Amino acid sequence: KAGVTQTPRYLIKTRGQQVTLSCSPISGHRSVSWYQQTPGQGLQFLFEYFSETQRNKGNFPGRFSGRQFSNSRSEMNVSTLELGDSALYLCASSFRSFITETQYFGPGTRLLVL
């Protein structure tokens, strides 16, 4: 079974631009979560989508948004990029949106904002 895939793997943007990241979950998984990983803050939860609905959201500004399509693929968008948005963005999928479910992570998209 194919794992979680994320595209692109690397991105370079400049301040003020916007960016869209894509995540394809494991086949059959309906929950997709997004995390931001930085050296200073570590891993932080952004939001979770289940069956095309955002179920939970972390403590991030409204510049960070996402959506999920009917095939469970998800996109994350960051508008008006800031230098501090430079990070590794990880996507994770699970079968159900449930606390005991194992989340399977993709390799991440590394975003550099100049």
Out of 90, 93, 111, 113, point to the residue binding other proteins (CB under 8 A): 90
C-alpha 46/C-alpha 65 separation (Å) is 9
DSSP annotation of 7 reads E
Q: Give the span between the Cα atoms of 31 and 18, in whole angstroms.
A: 25
Size of the site for other proteins (CB under 8 A): 27
Closest CB to other proteins among 49 and 78? 49
Tell me the window of 12-20, 21-29, 73-81, 89-97 that interacts with other proteins (CB under 8 A): 89-97
**Among the residue ranges 11-19, 40-48, 67-75, 78-86, the one whose residues contact other proteins (CB under 8 A):** 40-48
The smaller minimum CB distance to other proteins, of residues 17 and 22, is found at 22
71-91 burial by CB neighbour count: b if 16+ within 10 A, else e?
ebbbbbebeebeeebbbebbb
Closest CB to other proteins among residues 20, 103: 103
- C-alpha closest to that of 36 among 108, 99, 112, 100: 108
Q: By the criterion CB under 8 A, which residues form the site for other proteins?
A: 4, 33, 35, 42-48, 55-56, 58, 90, 92, 97-108
